[in-house]
């Protein structure tokens, strides 16, 4: 049985790859499929995966603000709040941005440099 | 009492304005970053202590010969309604200011901690979904991004160093090792605690020159400390190449520092005047590189001892002035 963290990852990957909202049942079937094709075996791991587990994972993701639920339909259909690229951009904005306490949150190898400085460094690279 | 409060006030002003300006311009700090870091911490602590102490001592002057007697008298007024007629308006004003400043500093420290922790947790949650563990070990993750980026996210046992695909492609193995050692040095030397304290100090008193200068100096000094750790195992040339490649994008690409959309870069470069990560960190990179290109020997032992003695004196002086008269009397 995969850990909740790994399942969250797998579910997000499916939601990011799929274009439309999916129910927990659909997601479970697709998860089962992907483990089967990876193992090349009967994929009992996928079969063991209960819909309730998928729902737990989905509600965790919903709490983290990564997944939203369509309220009107039953069973609920879930979709990603924003795309993988958007989330990556969000992360990088935090890394590269100029929020005053950013430096306390994480430490970058190199801070932002000015154009002239980047030019000097490029020359340095050419020389060495 | 009277002279004590004046002396503490003068000390507070000197530590808030001329001293940090002089120290931020000094060149020896790049030669012995660790000693310089201690001095900045001593300046911040002694500055805060003498600021609060001066107001406290001034306000308590009419009711006690020394701080301890004064505090005892004050406790009597607050808790058992002893007469307060001895205190004039300015004394009460100073006492309130001392209490407010103390509360403000402690509160800002806690609030900053909470905000930093929340941001880190959110960042870590996204990383768990977006980045994959690297072959270099459990504390390293790789994120799918073409521009060369490396950073570490502190978080106790869950601390992680993040590298981008672009970085791994652009750097030679030795250069990559230098980057990893540099980032791990930040984590193992607990630099995030220093950054937290100085970020809170600045957040609490943004109009005070010392808080901005101290935070900028400390951010720059920790980079130098981490560089020095990397230099123990990797060569100077390797580290310089790594810095140059990461700072200028991958070698040969004419794009800006990071392959990001131009508006976003402008946004970063221009930054508000007070913001770190803008001009401040550009200066950091410049001083780091020049320090690696023309290495200077560390400060002689004697001078370092003098600086350490100054640090101790800075801390001991206000403490002694506040407490010793009470113990003697």
Q: What is the mean pLDDT of residues B166-183?
A: 94
**According to the model, what pLDDT value does residue A37 have?**
63
Instruction: Please indicate if any CB of chain A lies within 8 Å of the CB of B196.
Output: yes
Tokens at B33, concatenated: 């970053």
Tell me the pLDDT tens digit for each residue of B37-62: 999 999 999 999 999 999 999 999 88
Chain B residue with minimal CA distance to A60? B125
Q: B121: how many CB neighbours lie within 10 A of its CB? A: 14
**Taking 70 as the threshold, does the pLDDT of residue B251 lie above it?**
no
Per-residue pLDDT for B250 more than 70?
no
Estimate the crossing angle of helix B2-16 against helix B209-233, to 10 degrees: 60
Minimum mean pLDDT among B58-62, B266-270, B295-299: which range? B266-270
Q: Enumerate residue ranges in chain A where pLDDT < 50.
A: 41-44, 46
Q: Å from A63 to nearest chain B CA? A: 12
pLDDT over threshold 70, residue B320: yes
Identify the pLDDT of residue A110. Answer: 84
Give the strand pairing for A77-80 and A67-70: antiparallel
Of A91, A115, A119, the CB nearest to B130: A91
Q: What is the largest CA-CA distance in chain B?
A: 78
The pLDDT of residue A112 = 66
| Chain centroid offset of residue B311 CA | 16
Given strand B150-153, what is the order of strands in its sheet? Answer: A107-108, B150-153, B160-164, B137-143, B132-134
pLDDT band, residue B143 (cuts 50/70/90):
very high
Rounded Cα gap, residues B328 and B318, in angstroms: 16
Two tokens at A35?
């483990």
Weakest-pLDDT range from A122-126, B91-95, B199-203, B289-293: A122-126
Task: Note the residue count of chain A.
Answer: 128
Q: What is residue B68's predicted lDDT score, i.e. its pLDDT? A: 85
Contacts of A91 in chain B (CB under 8 A): 123, 126-127, 130, 143
Quote ipTM for the complex: 0.84
Q: Residue B254's pLDDT is what?
A: 38
Listed in sequence order, the residues at least 6 apart from B312 whose beta carbon sits closer than 8 Å to its beta carbon are B42
The pLDDT of residue B189 is above 50: yes
What is the structure's pLDDT at B275? 34
DSSP string covering B102-118: HHHHHHHHHHHHHHHHH
Rounded to whole angstroms, the Cα distance separating B84 from B76 reads 9
pLDDT at B168 over 50: yes
The pLDDT of residue A39: 55
User: What pLDDT, in 10s, does the model give residues B72-84?
Assistant: 888 888 888 888 7
pLDDT band, very low/low/confident/very high, at B130 (cuts 50, 70, 90): very high
Instruction: Check residue A38 and give its pLDDT.
Output: 61
Contact at CB, B257 and A118, closer than 8 angstroms: yes
Contacts of A84 (CB under 8 A, 6+ apart): A12, A16, B130
Q: B114 contacts in A (CB within 8 Å)?
A: none
* Three-state SS sequence of A47-102: HHCCHHHHHHHHHHHHHCCCEEEECCCCCCEEEECCCHHHHHHHHHHHHHCCCCCH
Whole-number pLDDT of residue B269:
36
Alpha-carbon gap: A55 to the closest alpha carbon of chain B (Å): 17
What percentage of chain B has pLDDT greater than the value 90? 65
DSSP tag of B145: -
Q: What per-residue confidence (pLDDT) applies to B179?
A: 95
From A7's Cα to the closest Cα of chain B, the distance in A is 10
Lookup: tokens for B186: 């930040």
Interchain CB distance below 8 Å, B237 and A128: yes
DSSP per residue, B30-54: GTSHHHHHHHHHHHHHHHHHHHHHH
How would DSSP label each residue in B240-253?
HHHHHHHHTSSTT-
pLDDT, residue B329, reads: 65
Angle between helices B209-233 and B18-25 (to 10 degrees): 30
Domains of chain B, residue spans: 1-87+299-329, 133-296
Instruction: List the one residue out of A97, A110, A122 whose CA is nearest residue B265.
Output: A97
């Amino acid at each position: 049985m995969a850990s909740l963290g790994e399942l969250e990852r797998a579910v997000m990957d499916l939601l990011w790859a799929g274009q439309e909202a999916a129910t927990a049942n659909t997601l479970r079937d697709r998860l089962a499929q992907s483990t089967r094709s990876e193992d090349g075996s009967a994929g009992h791991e996928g079969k063991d995966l209960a819909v309730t587990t998928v729902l737990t994972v989905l509600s965790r993701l919903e709490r983290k603000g990564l997944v939203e639920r369509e309220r009107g339909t039953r069973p609920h259909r879930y979709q990603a709040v924003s795309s993988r690229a958007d989330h990556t951009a969000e992360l990088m904005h935090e890394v590269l941005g100029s929020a005053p306490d950013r430096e306390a949150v994480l430490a970058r190898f190199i801070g932002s440099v000015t154009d002239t400085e980047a030019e000097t460094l490029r020359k340095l690279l050419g020389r060495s | 009492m009277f002279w004590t409060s004046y002396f503490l006030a003068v000390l507070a002003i000197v530590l808030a304005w001329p001293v940090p300006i002089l120290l931020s311009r000094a060149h020896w700090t790049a030669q012995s970053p660790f000693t310089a870091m201690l001095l900045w911490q001593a300046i911040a602590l002694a500055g805060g202590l003498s600021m609060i102490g001066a107001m406290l001592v001034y306000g308590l002057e009419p009711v006690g010969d020394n701080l301890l007697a004064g505090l005892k008298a004050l406790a009597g007024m607050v808790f058992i309604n002893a007469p307060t007629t001895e205190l004039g308006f300015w004394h009460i004003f100073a006492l309130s200011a001392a209490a407010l400043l103390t509360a403000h500093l402690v509160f800002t420290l806690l609030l900053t901690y909470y905000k930093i922790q929340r941001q880190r947790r959110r960042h870590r949650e996204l990383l768990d979904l977006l980045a994959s563990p690297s072959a270099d070990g459990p504390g390293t993750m790789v994120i799918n991004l073409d521009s060369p980026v490396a950073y570490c996210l502190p978080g106790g046992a869950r601390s992680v160093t993040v590298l981008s695909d672009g970085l791994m492609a652009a750097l030679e193995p030795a250069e990559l090792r230098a980057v990893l050692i540099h980032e791990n040095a930040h984590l193992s030397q607990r630099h995030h605690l220093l950054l937290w304290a100085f970020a809170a100090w600045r957040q609490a008193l943004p109009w005070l020159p010392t808080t901005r200068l101290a935070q900028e100096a400390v951010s720059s000094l920790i980079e130098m400390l981490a560089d020095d750790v990397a230099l123990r195992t990797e060569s100077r040339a390797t580290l310089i190449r790594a810095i140059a490649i990461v700072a200028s994008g991958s070698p040969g690409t004419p794009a800006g520092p990071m392959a990001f959309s131009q508006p976003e870069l402008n946004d970063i470069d221009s930054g508000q005047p007070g913001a770190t990560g803008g001009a401040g960190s550009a200066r950091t990179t410049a001083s780091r590189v020049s320090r690696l290109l023309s290495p200077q020997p560390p400060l002689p032992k004697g001078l370092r001892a003098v600086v350490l003695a100054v640090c101790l004196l800075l801390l001991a002086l206000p403490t002694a002035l506040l407490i010793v008269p009470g113990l003697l009397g």
